[in-house]
Structure 1
Amino acid sequence: MSFSMPLNVLFGFAGAFTVANLYYNHPILNILADEFNVPYEEVSQIPTVMQAGYAAGLLFLCPLGDMVKRRAFVLGLVFFTATMWIGLCITKSLAAFTAISFITAVTTVTPQLMLPLVGDLAPPHRRAAALSIVVSGLLLGMLIARLLSGVLTNYTSWRTIYWLSLGLQYAIFAMLWLFMPDYPRTNKNLNYFKMLWSIVTMLFQEPVLVQACIITFFTAATFTNFWTTLTFLLAGEPYNYSSLVIGLFALIGIASMFCGPIYAKIVIDRFVPLFSVILGELWCMLGITIGTYTGTFTVAGPIIQAFFNDFGLQSAQIANRSSIYSIAPKARNRVNTAFMVATFCGQLVGTAAGNHLYARGGWIVSGSFSVGCIGGALIFCFVRGPWEEGWIGWSGGWSIKKKSRESADGKGDDKAVREVKITGDTEQAVVNAQDAEKGLETYAAEDGKNPVRALKEKQEDEETQSAGSRESVKEKDEDSAPQSSSGTTIS
């Protein structure tokens, strides 16, 4: 099954304008209040309801990607979401609008099914670059939704953006129908409730996953904290910017995201994931520190923060995903669910804490909270090294270079690398190396076993069987050998 750049871009585009469904209402809540003739407090519940629906989809729909064929599953969810979206375009009832918003948010989790699929389809040594395109699409959708909604509603009716979204969703459905490849189920006989429970058990078995979840929790909190409180800063003294100008700040974040795929290919694919995560956190710290402590008197501070905070978040997420997708190839959707739930919780904490702290102490206080969050993320980066197999420590060394350039996490099959060196860097050698690496990843139990652990178990079983076979042959030879009258074996 081939994986091409056009298919990668299609997944990124689909992810961007699917996840955008959650954010179109954010800049136009005041207009929706006027449209439905209700107080602002009533329409302010719409983003909360959609976040709750998205969380429900993450928990109860995304894990199904490990049980069913993802092409049919994704296409069904996209078509259902688009069809339900018609109700948002035409309803004149706030209750109906809120209810449909919840339902569509539940089924808007299709990008979180595409990411593990990219992990399955992309060669391990190019996984970070492939994931970066889809992750860039997700972050792009979060920002471009606010931008498009604000601009279009400023000049036309608010329903225009919803009709545009409807057209985009049916276009995505058509393109996925034509070009999305089929992929076999990774687990055929897995019980649904057992599968959900396995997400919890993985958090007690996989140190890499737990470390990634904690880091993304802290980092995601800084993202929503910044974009929530930025409006308050720019709308007040000394800036007094209009809502249109404030919305254009999203272009800065969008610009940083276009750097992601290039950065992933140059940096993330070349070094162990933890090194790239640390670099991403340092980019965040640079932007947040400058923006927090200069933003009250120069607009250059928020501009720098918008670029480096988004760039650092994207870098850390790509590296973390590249790492965690290597631990359980047949459970990638469940691994992704755990990671995204942690990210989502971080976003909620960032929004709530940012609003509360800004109300109490202003821009510097809320920004200092983000500085503390990045500090917390860095602490957990250094608690466990890139080669450590346990929960805490740096056993295995400090090296940032991959032991296997052909693997996603740098710990791949050295045999594949040796084959490339021996036969030369020919196309066939590269294919052989990729096949060997894919073989390592896919040798895992139906319940999603760590491939490295599974390989060790396989080698131990083979050694045991080999030793048993040799012993049996030896005993058979001894029994069948002619013996002298004294009973000694004649050699």
Structure 2
Amino acid sequence: MTFALNLFLAFVASVTVANLYYVQPLLAYFESTFSISTTQAGTINTLLQSGYAVGLILISPLGDMVNRKRLIVSLTVFLIILSLALGFISFFPLFQALNFLMGVLTVIPQIVIPFASELTPPNRRGAVLGMLTSGFLVGILAARIVAGAITEALNYRWVYYLAAIVQTLLLPFMYFFVPDEPHKSVASATGHSKRTGVAAVVEAYARLLGSMVGLLKSQPVLLQACFMGFCQSSSFANFWATSTFLLAGPPYNYSTSVIGLLALAGIVGILTAPFIGRLADKVSISTMESLGSIGLMATWLMLKLAGERSFAAVCVGAFCIDVFGQFINIVNRKRILTLVPSANARINAVFMFLVFMGMTAGSSVGTTTWTLAQWSGPCFLGLACGAGALAAFLFIVDEEGEWRYKAAKRWWKGCEKDRLIKQESISA
């Protein structure tokens, strides 16, 4: 994995994930454009995110079954077609359906990340994953900024036209620079099946999807990483969902434009991801994950004590939640993508699905806790998320990657055996 290829794949992740987030600043604009209610406009974002969850489970595992270069190029072509269609469509139900399909197919970053991990030697894997993570997160943030600016200058249709143009420009670079996998094809994936044709493909695909639950059972490190990822992403979504309420109300009473400045602290946090990735290549897993979990708890405690009195404290909190979250996220990605190399796409799909569920839970539960207890509610939820991540790190898996309860059971049996030996020696 060269630096140039790493940078290009990070850019691919950034450009493609943006498809999920262009709509977020445009929902109010869609109300007047399509003559719909606020609730109907909100369904667009819901359909996009729901489609993404479906794509994580149904599309991204295909990276273990087919040639990933061809898969990435094919998905990009479909995304270009969908972007153009969304720019032309004026019939709202069809616009909704195409947004759901856009969500399903916008899983290219989750195909690129395990692919890049396989192309990288273990001593550089953290740095590569850090850069890809940074590109992914920058795409999320940039999509909101770009969509708002283009819509204000032109109209929302040009957001989709320009997205199609940028993705089209990526295609030749994908073709020439992304490594090929000539040994991987549908034919090779169905080679052991007794069936032929479509039936063999369906059987291989069903077997591929069915194996994902088994990976959670057979790989304790994956289960631990998923639980920690769920807690970390819940903490992240909880903060960004509720900090707006905090800053919009007393004692701050800030305008929307001033509240938007909080994103600058998030940008700085995002840009630390490559550095954290390089650190993960040099520092032990236990150090990184314990620091990340304890750091999240300390950040939420600080936000509870000072968040209602100091905007600077809220900005520091935004930065720290991003940084300590990456301590957990990047290290866990690095760990799980070495467990079963032949199942990297499925492992990443399982991990990212639970991370996505964590973000959904953090956003909705965080909003509920704000309603019940104002700023104290999200802070205690954030503390619980940090504590949950730390508990998962301490109690699910030991240093050897074995189930902690099995190690404890073996230790207890050893103690019992020693006690019996001592009793026998005393009796003798």
Q: TM-score, normalised by structure 2?
A: 0.87
- CA deviations on 1:132-190 (whole Å, 9 max, x unpaired) are 11111112222222233344445553334333322222223332123111124568335
Residue 336 (1) aligns with residue 348 (2): yes
Which residue pairs with 2:189 in the alignment? 189
In 2: Cα distance, 1:369 partner to 1:21 partner: 30
In 2: Cα distance, 1:392 partner to 1:216 partner: 19
Residue 301 (1) aligns with residue 299 (2): no
In 1: Cα distance, 2:144 partner to 2:348 partner: 26
**What pairs up with 1:202-281 in 2 under 5 angstroms?**
202-265=215-278, 267-281=279-293
Report the AA paired with residue 378 of structure 2. S
In 2: Cα distance, 1:175 partner to 1:242 partner: 42
In 2: Cα distance, 1:195 partner to 1:7 partner: 29
- CA deviations on 1:453-490 (whole Å, 9 max, x unpaired) are xxxxxxxxxxxxxxxxxxxxxxxxxxxxxxxxxxxxxx
Among 354, 357, 372, the alignment partner of 1:360 is: 372
In 2: Cα distance, 1:350 partner to 1:199 partner: 24
Q: CA deviation at 1:15?
A: 0.6
Report the AA paired with residue 85 of structure 1. S
In 2: Cα distance, 1:285 partner to 1:264 partner: 21
In 2: Cα distance, 1:393 partner to 1:185 partner: 41
In 1: Cα distance, 2:160 partner to 2:303 partner: 34
Which piece of structure 1 moves more, 351-360 or 212-221?
A: 351-360
3-state DSSP class of the match of 1:203?
A: helix
- CA deviations on 1:224-259 (whole Å, 9 max, x unpaired) are 111112222222233333333333322221211212
Which residue pairs with 1:10 in the alignment? 8
Contact 1:223 1:310 in 2 (8 A): yes
In 2: Cα distance, 1:185 partner to 1:198 partner: 22
Structure 1: segments with no counterpart, 5+ residues? 397-491
Contact 1:384 1:394 in 2 (8 A): no
Q: Which has the larger radius of gyration?
A: 1
In 1: Cα distance, 2:368 partner to 2:385 partner: 16
- CA deviations on 1:263-307 (whole Å, 9 max, x unpaired) are 321x21013334322222233223332234322222112201111
Structure 2: segments with no counterpart, 5+ residues? 191-203, 409-428
Against the structure 1 CA distance between its residues 163 and 363, is the aligned structure 2 distance closer, same or farther, given a 3 Å change threshold? Answer: farther
Among 167, 170, 176, the alignment partner of 1:169 is: 167
Against the structure 1 CA distance between its residues 283 and 155, is the aligned structure 2 distance closer, same or farther, given a 3 Å change threshold? Answer: farther
Contact 2:248 2:254 in 1 (8 A): yes
Which residue pairs with 2:360 in the alignment? 348
Against the structure 1 CA distance between its residues 362 and 160, is the aligned structure 2 distance closer, same or farther, given a 3 Å change threshold? Answer: farther
3-state DSSP class of the match of 2:217?
A: coil
Which structure has more relative contact order (CA 8 Å, sep 6+)? It is 2
Which piece of structure 1 moves more, 240-249 or 33-42?
A: 240-249
Among 157, 176, 179, the alignment partner of 1:178 is: 176
Against the structure 1 CA distance between its residues 8 and 118, is the aligned structure 2 distance closer, same or farther, given a 3 Å change threshold? Answer: same
Which residue pairs with 1:378 in the alignment? 390
Against the structure 1 CA distance between its residues 299 and 155, is the aligned structure 2 distance closer, same or farther, given a 3 Å change threshold? Answer: farther
Q: CA deviation at 1:192?
A: 1.2
Which piece of structure 1 moves more, 247-256 or 92-101?
A: 247-256
Which residue pairs with 1:96 in the alignment? 94
- CA deviations on 1:3-57 (whole Å, 9 max, x unpaired) are 2001001111111121121112112211211221111011111111111100111
Against the structure 1 CA distance between its residues 152 and 252, is the aligned structure 2 distance closer, same or farther, given a 3 Å change threshold? Answer: farther
Which piece of structure 1 moves more, 28-37 or 121-130?
A: 28-37
Against the structure 1 CA distance between its residues 95 and 296, is the aligned structure 2 distance closer, same or farther, given a 3 Å change threshold? Answer: same
- Root-mean-square deviation over aligned CA pairs: 2.0
Against the structure 1 CA distance between its residues 149 and 274, is the aligned structure 2 distance closer, same or farther, given a 3 Å change threshold? Answer: farther
Which residue pairs with 1:469 in the alignment? none
In 1: Cα distance, 2:165 partner to 2:259 partner: 27
- CA deviations on 1:72-113 (whole Å, 9 max, x unpaired) are 000000111111111222222221221111111111000000
Which piece of structure 1 moves more, 213-222 or 310-319?
A: 310-319
Which residue pairs with 2:413 in the alignment? none
Which residue pairs with 1:119 in the alignment? 117
Percent sequence identity is 34
Report the AA paired with residue 353 of structure 1. V
Contact 2:113 2:129 in 1 (8 A): yes
Contact 1:387 1:395 in 2 (8 A): no
Report the AA paired with residue 210 of structure 1. L
Which residue pairs with 1:315 in the alignment? 327
In 1: Cα distance, 2:260 partner to 2:57 partner: 32
Q: CA deviation at 1:385?
A: 5.4
Against the structure 1 CA distance between its residues 185 and 209, is the aligned structure 2 distance closer, same or farther, given a 3 Å change threshold? Answer: farther
In 1: Cα distance, 2:142 partner to 2:260 partner: 9
Which piece of structure 1 moves more, 377-386 or 216-225?
A: 377-386
Against the structure 1 CA distance between its residues 149 and 244, is the aligned structure 2 distance closer, same or farther, given a 3 Å change threshold? Answer: farther
Which residue pairs with 1:29 in the alignment? 27
Which residue pairs with 2:138 in the alignment? 140
Contact 1:272 1:386 in 2 (8 A): no
In 2: Cα distance, 1:300 partner to 1:394 partner: 46
Against the structure 1 CA distance between its residues 280 and 262, is the aligned structure 2 distance closer, same or farther, given a 3 Å change threshold? Answer: same
Which piece of structure 1 moves more, 139-148 or 12-21?
A: 139-148
Residue 324 (1) aligns with residue 336 (2): yes
3-state DSSP class of the match of 2:310?
A: coil
In 2: Cα distance, 1:298 partner to 1:308 partner: 15
